[in-house]
Amino acid sequence: YLSGVLIGNEVAAAVASRSQQFVLVSSRSVTQVDNPLNKLFGDLLIWKLKGEDHLRGSGVPYTVVRPTGMRDYPGGTEGIGLAQGDTFAFGYVICRDDAAAVCVAALGTAGALGKTLEAYNDPTIAVGPLEAKFLPLRTDIART
């Protein structure tokens, strides 16, 4: 519940200030209601999805970044993949520095607007600029 209230307050502030873009860090698996994290942590993922939906319905330009499992290792050592569909299984990870890099790259990038994406590290992907990786991702369809 607290997560949903905080997101609501932040979105209200973004609306009031006519923000040009809101980048929300959410979590992979938010669409998987039976995920064990919901049972362990009071429907945490359900509340994160509600926060995402609130942002999407606010009219504020946005990008939702759903990192896979976050780890503490140096950033920039593995490529970063961006995907959609919330279908990642456990085992996919991204370092915190690289998750932050995705958020920073989304800021001011027109190709990132109105999109929800999962971010993960992949040693088979070359390390490099992220901005072009947003372009092939589909824009969100309004959820009802």
What is the pLDDT at residue 135? 95
Q: Tell me the residue ranges of DSSP E strands in 3-142.
A: 22-25, 62-67, 69-71, 79-83, 93-95, 115-122
11: enclosing H helix or E strand: helix 2-16
What is the pLDDT at residue 1? 41
**pTM of structure:** 0.89
Residues of the chain with pLDDT under 50: 1-2, 144
Edge to edge, what strands does the sheet with 79-83 contain?
Answer: 22-25, 62-67, 115-122, 79-83
Tokens of 30: 């938010």
Give Cα separations from 30 to 20, 67, 111 (angstroms).
Answer: 25, 11, 23
How much is the CA Rg of the chain, to the nearest whole Å? 15
- Long-range CB pairs of 42-49 (<8 Å, 24+ gap) are 42/1, 44/3, 47/1, 47/2, 47/3, 47/4, 48/3
Give the single-character DSSP code of 27. Answer: -
Tokens of 68: 């896979």
